[in-house]
Chains A and B, each alone.
Chain A
Amino acid sequence: MFLINCPFCGEREQSEFKAGGEAHIVRPKQPTELSDDQWAEYLFMRKNIKGIQFERWNHIHGCRKWFNMVRDTSNDEIKAVYKMGEKPPVK
């Protein structure tokens, strides 16, 4: 079970958090102008990488803030956590 360093609260047990899927997927500003395929790309397509993955997490049983996490899915090492809107500190 992870020990997650919430950018607002500090280190907490994983059981306080909820995973929210892939990060840095921006909701299109003008959905009506998108083709079905383009909309489907936003709506359904998600990466599932073995290695470095960018993820959204929510401190749901804590401060309830959403934030981003960089995690190596091959060994569950958390490389970084950062606030929404910030640039990822690692590549």
Chain B
Amino acid sequence: MIKNLRVKSSKLVDETYRISFKFNGSTYYGFKGDTLASALLANNIHLVGRSFKYHRPRGIMTAGSEEPNAIVQLHNGTSRTEPNVRATEMEIYEGLVASSQNCWPSVKFDIGGINNFLSPLLPAGFYYKTFMWPASFWGKYEYFIRKSAGLGKSPNVPDPDIYEHKYIHCDVLVIGAGISGIIAAKTAAKNGFRTLLVEEKSYLGGSTIYQDSEFFKINNQNSASWLEKEINEIKKIENLEIKTRTSVAAFHGYNFLLARENLTDHLPLEQRENKTRQKLLKIRAKKVITATGSIERPLIFDNNDRPGILLSSAIKKYADLFGVACGEKNILFTNNDSAYETAISLIQKGIKVQAIIDNREEIDSKLIKETEKNNIKIYKGYTIVDTSGYKRINSISIMKLSKDGQKVIGSKENISCDNLGISGGWTPAVHLFTQSGGKLKFRDDDQVFIPNSYPSNQISIGSCRGDFTLDEILINATKLLKDFLNIKKTEYENIEIYSAFNKSKRNIWLLPSNKILGKTKSFIDFQNDATAKDIKLALREGFRSIEHVKRYTTTGMGTDQGKLGNMHALGIISETASSKMGELGTTTFRPPYTPLAFGTIVGRNVGKYFDITRKTPIHEWHVENKAEFENVGQWKRAWYYPQNGENMHEAVQRESKAARDSAGILDASTLGKIDIQGTDASEFLNRVYTNAWSKLEIGKCRYGLMLNEDGMVYDDGVTTRLDENHYIMTTTTGGAATVLGKLEDYLQTEWPGLDVYLTSVTDHYATISVCGPNSKKIIQKVIPEIDLSDKDFPHMSFKNSKIGKVKCRVMRISFTGEQSYEINIQANYAKSVWDNCMEAGKEFNITPYGTETMHLLRAEKGFIIAGQDTDATMTPIDLQMDWIVSKKKFDFIGKRSLYRSDTIREDRKQLVGLITDNPEEILEEGAQIVADMNKTPIEMLGHVTSSYFSPNLKKSIALGVVKGGKNMMGQKLIIPMEKKQINVTVTDPVFLDKENKRLNA
């Protein structure tokens, strides 16, 4: 039974442009300009979803972003599927496929609906109370709870769409393009402010743009026509940018705002190819004008959630804007004048209004008179006590309200209907204002929270500050704008306004019923199924803070964040607990105002653009030679070079052996390099390293250990004295930036008197390290003019030299324990020098090795890697590196901490070597180390930090930290693994060449 419920002369839809779409498998038609909600209503479809907890049938309730019920899944089963899309905001396009959520097998017959009949067993806090015991059953409960949790289905393949971020700086940002936003934007722009106006809907003008009756006039024109002219004018202003379909998600401090601009969601799928779907706008505005309007309140009575029950303003909007009648037998239920505006609109369009139920007893206004003229029965001083109709409302029951509004009296009367509009007055949309840090005050007259104090350069105007009538809005906004923008006059000074709206309202948070509360279902949060009785139960159980009641009852915790019902929850709490609304406060409004897609948040920072990739100048060679790469910070480092189908282990074993047997070559360009100059450079190094630097000769290198002020090892590296007042420091690859930052910090803040200059030169120089017994011969071939004799160029020294015409620095330093040379050369020459080394080393089987072999070779020598063998709890003493800590120096960073009561403990974790009883057994890095398996609980003595199979020693070696390990040499310990125990012996951490003979071999 599909009827056409279109009426003529709608504002927004183009009836010459028909669009087909699918909902729950059936094809329907709508027009260009329709939202999914308006198109469904035009097809007489109200039932669109099931509620979260009780699976009650639910229909479209609103016409905007506050919608709790009509949330659908788009394009289920495709990569573009999206859950929880508000049908009230979704503009239809050719090919749209949407389906209901939270129901199985279908929205019309939903198995979960049984929860509705079990509802007495599912009170507030049901899950907290029920699944607490026995605790061991949690694993079983969790499976079922997870199955029933959540509404829609998230996509399980990558998002194919493109998203962008954009920064915008403007003088004035106006949020919301209703009547107040329009006049604000026009005033600001015309006074020379660079202005941005954003509006979440596809059209401008808010609700005034369809306020087309003789009861609301500006300068003797209907307010809609007057506003239309204003809109046409502002579109021509040059320094005013207007963005529609743009919703502000967050309003942070210092006028920093995030907004989502929707660019393609309303287009047919085939028109979206290669277009940006959404932009996240990062707006920094000098001034912000919030004109976000207000949201109509529902009324809280028994069974107020049936399909066919809508906000009264939504019914008006569907009729005026989309030309859709929500029903043929309409009833309106109200406590204020708004419903009469709806009634008049419906009458104008020939849509039948059966009756109006008004909470107010003695009322009179022009709008009411006009309504009565049309022979519409108005029940004054009445309330609805119940509704019926399972999948669509079919009748209401009404009773007379007592004088104090606390009870119902008299007899019940039933009226049949197919549509009910409810209006509980208006709630200013203060969400963004409070997000920015704004404080609210409560206005008792009409029971609303309105802005009180502004934390940044901003104002609220229009109904979001509590001005609800046309005259109030225009007069106050004009006054506020003049002050805020510091201008003398606006063009709205002598404007004539006529508004027939009477502000009287009878606010009753929970309408009385003829039933006891326990037998009613008066919904407050429609999406999460929180009822008035749940709120009262929470209060009975002792909850007082609004934040606690919210979490216990889940009120306001759905995707709509309680935009409709939160005020009623507050009202009921305030009444029940006899506390004042103003003192109770509100729950915290948090961003985003409406949900944001992950894609919008990450923008272009996906895949290879997720982070910066740093490559050495020799990177392409590594790629050509089939290197596997490892990420070290942002750097791509060659990890190992598998040959002929080798696995990692085989490749590393080959590389490690070749480096010690003949020659190996490593790209060490990623090491951090800091150029240090100045007359106090030596003194500076004395203060930042643990060892002494003043006596280091020019042309010599020294290894240094850097501590934090708490005495813990922070970084290490070799520093070379290039000249009297000139050093070059190397840092670990990952530590380069933070070491530079730390050194700058001390220079600027603690020792500003030192004459020292730091420059990061990491990327300026490439470093090629050649090691092994044949390294000297290879370097000699590459740099013929250099004297490499041990006497002239001993270990830990450096020489300036040239390769061809290009200057280079050669350091004889070693991280492998082999004789080893490092060539530092301007990065753009590095590739050719590398090629030279490979060519020169051919006869010596020069073998490129990666980071894994480097780690293995240094572990054979017991050299630490800061960050692998150390964490932020290891002192140099813990590392058995006492030799590097100067006893003579007066002070250095961290010195005092080395003899705090805690750092001198004998039983601290200390670095030791570990040798497995079975030489083939390789330990797992991170494995725990214990001494006694029979003790309960088993005492963890430490863990394995580095572990390898050494091809040069032909056995497994490992480093680890063990409590009191220094005094445990030769002792047996146990590494417990999942299915076995591995026996190890504690040894010295240096496994190979303790006498350092190989350095000069």
Whether the pair B749, A36 counts as a contact (CB closer than 8 A) is: no
Contact with B along A52-89 (1 / 0, CB 8 A): 00001010100011100000000110000000110000
Decide if B679 is an interface residue (CB 8 Å cutoff).
no
B: interface residue count bin: 20 to 34
Could you tell me if B253 and A66 are in contact, using CB atoms closer than 8 angstroms? no
Interfacial chain A residues near B253, Cβ < 8 Å: 1-2, 76
Give the interface SS of chain B, mostly helix, strand, loop or mixed: mixed
Complex: A36 Cα to B748 Cα, angstroms: 27
A9 at the interface (CB under 8 A from B): no
Question: CB-CB < 8 A to B710: which residues of A?
Answer: 43
Determine if B284 and A39 form an interchain contact, defined as CB atoms under 8 angstroms apart.
no
Tell me the complex Cα distance, A64–B891, Å: 26
Kindly state the separation between the CA atoms of A66 and B896 in the bound complex, as whole angstroms: 25
How far does the Cβ of B354 sit from chain A's closest Cβ, in whole Å? Answer: 53
B284 touches A32 (CB 8 A): no
Q: Are A85 and B752 in contact (CB under 8 A)?
A: yes
Closest chain A residue, CB of each to CB of B746? A27
* Size band of the interface chain A makes with B: 20 to 34
The answer for the CA separation of A61 and B966 in the assembled complex, in Å, is 44
A32 to B284, CA, bound (A): 50
Q: Which residues of B contact A34 (CB under 8 A)?
A: 896
Check B896–A31 contact: CB distance below 8 A. Answer: yes
A84, B256: Cβ atoms closer than 8 Å: no
Whether A36 contacts B455 in the complex (CB less than 8 A), given A13-B284, A66-B749, A84-B752, comes out as: no
Contact between chains at A58 and B741 (CB < 8 Å): yes
What is the minimal beta-carbon distance from B714 to any residue of chain A, in angstroms?
Answer: 14
What 1/0 mask marks residues of chain B from 738 to 757 whose CB sits below 8 Å from any chain A CB? 00010011001110100000
B897 and A75 form a contact (CB under 8 A): no
Chain A residues, CB < 8 A from B896: 28, 31-32, 34, 39
Q: A1-B256, A2-B253 are in contact. Are A75 and B455 (CB under 8 A)?
A: yes
Q: Are B900 and A36 in contact (CB under 8 A)?
A: yes
Of A18, A43, A76, the contact of B709 (CB 8 Å cutoff)? A43
> CB < 8 Å: which of B252, B752, B895, B897 contacts A1?
B252
The answer to whether the Cβ of A3 comes within 8 Å of any Cβ in the partner chain is: yes
Q: Is B23 an interface residue (CB 8 A)?
A: no
B897 CB contacts on chain A under 8 angstroms: 39, 43
Residue B144 interfacial (CB < 8 Å): no
B748: nearest residue on chain A (CB-CB)? A66
Closest CB-CB distance, B162 to chain A, in whole Å? 23
B437 in contact (CB, < 8 A): yes
Residues 16-60 of A, flagged 1 when their CB comes within 8 A of B and 0 if not, give 001010000001101110101001100100000000000010101
CB distance from B336 to the nearest CB of A (A): 36
State whether the Cβ of B589 lies closer than 8 Å to any Cβ in chain A: no
Q: Cβ of A30: which chain B residues have Cβ within 8 Å of it?
A: 891
B749 to chain A, nearest CB (A): 5
Task: Identify the B interface with A (CB < 8 A).
Answer: 252-254, 256, 284, 437, 455, 709-710, 741, 744-745, 748-750, 752, 890-891, 895-897, 900-901
Q: What are 14 sample pairs from A and B whose C-beta atoms fall under 8 A apart?
A: A1-B252, A1-B254, A2-B254, A3-B254, A20-B745, A28-B896, A32-B891, A40-B900, A64-B744, A66-B744, A66-B745, A66-B749, A84-B748, A84-B752
18 A-B pairs besides A43-B710, A75-B455 with CB distance below 8 A are A1-B256, A3-B256, A3-B284, A13-B284, A20-B745, A32-B890, A32-B895, A36-B901, A39-B897, A43-B897, A56-B749, A58-B745, A66-B749, A75-B437, A76-B437, A84-B748, A84-B749, A84-B752
